[in-house]
């Protein structure tokens, strides 16, 4: 019960901090929208091309938005010493990671899900395609947050900065991108998107089990 | 004999020196013999002509690029489980060699692809995975370098290398998973290889050359890392005393 109480307090603290400093919340959200809206300028905005590249553009924007938000995920807590204090709590450190990553997803991943259907209309996607894209994003965005959290934890205390997080994390995002976009593409060409969903879910389960340990270990190395 | 005593950098330092000495000459020898076989003895391929000869460098380099990434993860796992700092140093010493082999595999692949496929680059699964592997090497090296304290850099890099090594089997099985342009593996141990014996021999000798070269150069690099580490320690002791 004590563990639950600590986790609840931590959850409340994380949410409060995010809503006190709403600029982070808005930055990711609008970054996503702006990057998404940039792509049509870079290609010919024809009604044949845009639906084809739309799912990929939305997914890539989500990856970039996740990189931008996760670069600073643990940094402020690390700099003011509160991360060290939180890790002193008498509960397993992976539980702390779960709470922090969940709040991070709630505030940076979840808003993308709300606006993604509207952006899909900009690309002229059909209703069913939007549904498939949304399912892939629902499974995929927690993965992005988890991997991004690892990148953020690894670079704590180094001289790397946000650019290094991007270099570390973007290659690891590629399988998520392949199967996320793959689900919509296979649906559009008449194949069931189920395989992509299953692979994405498998990666998510795998990451949910193992990545918190890697994140906790990196944070402990930074706190030494 | 207690093999664990070599996990001390101080004990390993002279051993690394002699391993370097005994692998450098074989690597030059195998390279000369291998190149001779691949350019003069191996028969011309009746389909691909002379251009196929690039596989004598391409295939061993691609193999090395994957083996070295797995070796790095292996040493890092050993490092975390036995708490041996030499293992982390080993991984750090391996990384530049692996990155170079990945680069060579990509470049030679492009040279091979131009006459065979008519394109320098195709977005095929294996090519793409090899490119991702290069990104992972770069990520690891950049991450380790971003820390002033090399001990911490090596450990943090180790976590990254263990997490990202999942990518290596994906590279290998991608040929089966995403059935694409790239031809299937032409060397296999189950059935008779679909190539002339001389070509296989040439490839094996080149493989030996790359292995011995890698061992030699990694030993040289790990000696440099040990020296650097000692200097860092001296500097740290000096500042705390003074």
Residue A162 CB-density burial (10 A; 0-12 exposed, 13-18 middle, 19+ buried): middle
Best mutation target, B133, B156, B169, B178, to test chain A (most A CBs within 10 A)? B156
Confidence of residue B38 (pLDDT cuts 50, 70, 90): confident
Confidence of residue B188 (pLDDT cuts 50, 70, 90): very low
Q: Which residues of B touch A221 (CB under 8 A)?
A: 152, 155-156, 159
> Contact B146/A160, CB-based, under 8 Å?
yes
Question: For the whole model, what pTM was predicted?
Answer: 0.88
State the average pLDDT for chain B: 82
> Contact A217/B159, CB-based, under 8 Å?
yes
Question: How many residues are listed for chain B in this entry?
Answer: 242
CA A61 – CA A24 distance, rounded (Å): 17
Q: Which residues of B touch A172 (CB under 8 A)?
A: 163-164, 167
CA A208 – CA A107 distance, rounded (Å): 18
Residue pLDDT, tens place only, A181-221: 888 888 887 778 888 888 889 889 989 999 999 999 999 98
Q: Which residues of B touch A164 (CB under 8 A)?
A: 142-143, 146
Here the ipTM equals 0.89
Q: Which of A27-36, B17-26, B170-179 has the lowest mean pLDDT?
A: B170-179
**How many Cβ contacts (< 8 angstroms) between chains A and B?**
58
CB proximity B144 to A under 8 Å: no
Q: Which residues pair with B45 in a beta bridge?
A: B49
Burial B190-214 (b: 16+ CB within 10 A, else e): eeeeebeeebebbbebbbbbbbbbb
- Residue showing tokens 């808003």: A111
CA B79 from centre of chain:
19
How confident is chain A (224 residues) per 10-residue block, as mean pLDDT?
86 87 83 90 82 88 90 85 87 91 91 91 87 93 93 87 86 85 82 84 91 92 86
Residue pLDDT, tens place only, B192-235: 446 677 788 888 899 999 999 999 999 999 999 999 888 888 87
| SS3 state at B49 | strand
Domain count, chain A: 1
By CA distance, what is B128's nearest residue in A? Answer: A174
Q: Residue A18: which domain range?
A: 2-223
Best mutation target, A166, A221, A222, to test chain B (most B CBs within 10 A)? A221
How far off is chain B from A174, nearest CA to CA, in Å? 8
């Amino acid at each position: 019960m004590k563990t639950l109480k600590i986790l609840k307090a931590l959850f409340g603290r994380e949410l409060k901090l995010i809503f006190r400093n709403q600029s982070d919340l808005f930055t990711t959200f609008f970054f996503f929208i702006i990057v998404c809206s940039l792509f049509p300028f870079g290609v010919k905005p024809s009604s044949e091309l845009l639906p084809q590249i739309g799912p990929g553009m939305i997914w890539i924007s989500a990856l970039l938005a996740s990189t931008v938000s996760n670069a600073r995920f643990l940094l402020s807590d690390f700099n003011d010493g509160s991360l060290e204090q939180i890790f002193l709590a008498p509960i397993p450190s992976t539980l702390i990671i779960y709470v922090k990553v969940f709040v991070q997803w709630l505030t940076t991943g979840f808003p993308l899900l709300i606006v993604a259907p509207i952006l899909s209309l900009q690309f002229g996607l059909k209703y069913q395609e939007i549904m498939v894209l949304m399912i892939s994003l629902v499974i995929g965005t927690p993965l992005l947050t988890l991997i991004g959290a690892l990148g953020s934890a690894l670079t704590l205390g180094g001289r790397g900065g946000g650019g290094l997080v991007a270099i570390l994390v973007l290659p690891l995002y590629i399988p998520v991108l392949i199967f996320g976009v793959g689900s919509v593409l296979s649906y559009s060409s008449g194949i069931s998107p189920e395989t992509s969903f299953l692979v994405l879910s498998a990666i998510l389960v795998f990451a949910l089990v193992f990545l918190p340990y890697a994140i906790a270990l990196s944070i402990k190395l930074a706190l030494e | 004999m207690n093999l664990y005593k070599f996990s001390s950098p101080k004990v390993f330092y002279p051993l690394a020196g002699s391993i370097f000495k005994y692998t450098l000459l074989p690597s030059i020898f195998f390279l000369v013999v291998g190149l001779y076989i691949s350019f003069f003895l191996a028969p011309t391929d009746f389909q691909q002509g002379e251009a196929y000869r690039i596989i004598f460098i391409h295939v061993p380099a691609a193999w090395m690029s994957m083996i070295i990434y797995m070796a790095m993860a292996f040493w890092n796992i050993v490092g975390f489980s036995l708490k041996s700092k030499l293992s982390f140093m080993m991984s750090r010493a391996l990384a530049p060699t692996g990155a170079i082999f990945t680069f060579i595999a990509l470049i030679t692949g492009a040279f091979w692809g131009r006459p065979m496929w008519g394109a320098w680059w195709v977005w095929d699964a294996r090519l793409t995975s090899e490119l991702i592997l290069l990104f992972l090497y770069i990520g690891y090296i950049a991450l380790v370098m971003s820390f002033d304290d090399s001990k911490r850099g090596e450990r943090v890099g180790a976590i990254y290398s263990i997490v990202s090594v999942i990518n290596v089997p994906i590279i290998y099985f991608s040929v089966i998973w995403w059935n694409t342009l790239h031809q299937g593996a032409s060397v296999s141990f189950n059935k008779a290889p679909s190539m002339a014996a001389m070509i296989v021999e040439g490839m094996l000798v080149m493989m030996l050359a790359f292995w011995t070269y890698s061992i030699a150069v990694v030993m040289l690099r790990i000696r440099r890392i040990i020296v650097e580490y000692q200097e860092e320690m001296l500097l740290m002791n000096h500042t705390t005393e003074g």
